[in-house]
Amino acid sequence: MKKSGLLERLAVGPVICAEGYLFELERRGYLQAGAYVPEVVLDFPEQVENLHRDFLRAGSDVIEAFTYYAHREKLRLIGREADLEPMNRQALAIAKKVAAEGNALVAGNICNTNVYEPNNRDAERQIRAMFEEQVSWVVEAGVDFIIAETFSWLGEAEIALDVIKRTKLPSVVTFALHRHGTMRDGFKPAEAAKKIEQQGADVVGLNCIRGIRTMMPSIEEIRKAVSIHVAALPVPYRTTIAEPTFESLTEKDQECAHCIPDGRSFPVALDPFQVTRYEIAEFGRQAYAMGVNYLGVCCGAGPHHIRALAESLGREPAASRFSPDMSKHYAYGNDQKLKAANREYAKDL
Ligand SMILES: [Zn+2]
C-alpha cells in the first residue's frame, strides 16, 4: 500500500511532528549544550535511532532527520567540517529506517545558520550554498517533505524555501520568535507567514523559543492571515508575558538561583519551568480546534509529551499501553484487591 504523503494527511486530520532532539540527547549525555551540534549522529547513531523510535511509539507521524545544526557553519565551529556530508547522510538513513517501522513520514531538515545579515549578499550566497548542499543529500536520500525551521530572519527563511521549492517536495517553514515577538527583520509573524505562503510553502508556523502561552497568540494571528496549513511547535516550558522565551526565563527561587551559572536558566537549568503532559494535551486540543493541524513540541520535549499530544487528538499510539492508570496505585487506587489500610492512609501522604 502506498504511504500517504504530508499534504494528504493534513487534508484529513492533524499531523504530529516530534522535535527537540538536541535537548533530549544532551540530557542523555550524547551531545554538548553550547555549540549544540548533532555529533551523536556519527558518534552514537544507535541513540538517535532509539530516540526516533521512542517518539514514533509515542505517536509522532513524522521522523525528522536529525540534521538540525548539521550545517557547514556549525561543523566549522567545532572543527568537524570533514564530517558534514557523512553526518547528514547518516541522519537521513537513520530517520528513514525508523520511519519505515511505523508508516511514518520522513522529513529532511534545514535550519537557521546564524550567519544571515540583511542586505549582505555574501552572507546570502554562503547560506544558499549551505542549504543547497544539505538539500541535495536530502533529495538523494528520498524523503516525504522538507522542514526549514527556527528562522528568526524572514530573509533567511525565504532562501531556505527557495532552495526547497526547487526539489518539488512539500515544505514546512517555521519561524522562531524571540523576546520582541517579531522577526528580526521587523516583520510581524502574520506578515512573514503571508509572504512565505505567497512564495509557495505548504505549511507555515512557529517552532521553538516560546512556550505554549506566549506562542499561541501569534499562532492565532498566523492562522487568520494565511490559507495554507499552520504549524505550532512550542517548547514545553512555562514562558510568561514578562519572560516570553525560554532564553529569558529566570529562576525565582532564590535558594536555588545562586547555584545556576550566570543566573541563566537557559539551556540546561530549565527543569523547574517544564510543563506537564496535561498542559501539552490542552495545547493540542486548543490548537487543533483553532485550525492548526501540524503540531509538535520542540526543545525540551520527551516522549511523554508527544504521547499526551497524540492522545489529545484522539490517537492511541503504541506507548498508550502504558498511559497512567491510578486505579491500581497502592494508596490512591480503587481496585478492590488493594489493602484498605493503605487506601485510607492516602490522605496522609
Ligand atoms: Zn527547539
User: Nine-digit cell at 57?
Assistant: 511509539
For residues 11 and 294, what is the distance between their CA atoms, to the nearest angstrom?
A: 11
Spacing, Cα 21 to ligand 1 middle (Å): 8
The three-point CA angle 142-148-75 to 5° equals 85
- For residue 269, the SS3 value is coil
pLDDT of res. 84: 97
Give the amino acid at 130.
M
| CA quadruple 219, 224, 230, 235: dihedral, nearest 10 | 0
User: Nine-digit cell at 237?
Assistant: 516550558
Crossing angle between the packed helical segments 84-100 and 45-58, to the nearest 10 degrees: 40
With a cut of 90, say whether residue 65 has pLDDT above it.
Answer: yes
With a cut of 90, say whether residue 1 has pLDDT above it.
Answer: no
Over range 288-308, report the average pLDDT. Answer: 98
With a cut of 90, say whether residue 2 has pLDDT above it.
Answer: no
CA 255 from centre of chain: 32
Spacing, Cα 331 to ligand 1 middle (Å): 38
With a cut of 80, say whether residue 340 has pLDDT above it.
Answer: yes
- Give all domains of the chain, ordered by start, each with its CATH number: 6-316 (3.20.20.330)
pLDDT of res. 192: 98
Spacing, Cα 300 to ligand 1 middle (Å): 7
pLDDT of res. 8: 98
Over range 36-51, report the average pLDDT. Answer: 97
Spacing, Cα 136 to ligand 1 middle (Å): 24
With a cut of 70, say whether residue 14 has pLDDT above it.
Answer: yes
Spacing, Cα 226 to ligand 1 middle (Å): 23
pLDDT in tens, 313-325: 999 999 999 999 9
pLDDT of res. 3: 85
Spacing, Cα 176 to ligand 1 middle (Å): 9
pLDDT in tens, 69-117: 999 999 999 999 999 999 999 999 999 999 999 999 999 999 999 999 9
With a cut of 90, say whether residue 238 has pLDDT above it.
Answer: yes
pLDDT in tens, 106-149: 999 999 999 999 999 999 999 999 999 999 999 999 999 999 99
pLDDT in tens, 248-288: 999 999 999 999 998 899 999 999 999 999 999 999 999 99
User: Nine-digit cell at 23?
Assistant: 535537548
The percentage of residues in the chain with a pLDDT greater than 70, rounded to a whole number, is 100
Spacing, Cα 224 to ligand 1 middle (Å): 24
Spacing, Cα 271 to ligand 1 middle (Å): 15
Spacing, Cα 70 to ligand 1 middle (Å): 14
CA 279 from centre of chain: 16
For residues 24 and 40, what is the distance between their CA atoms, to the nearest angstrom?
A: 12
Spacing, Cα 235 to ligand 1 middle (Å): 6
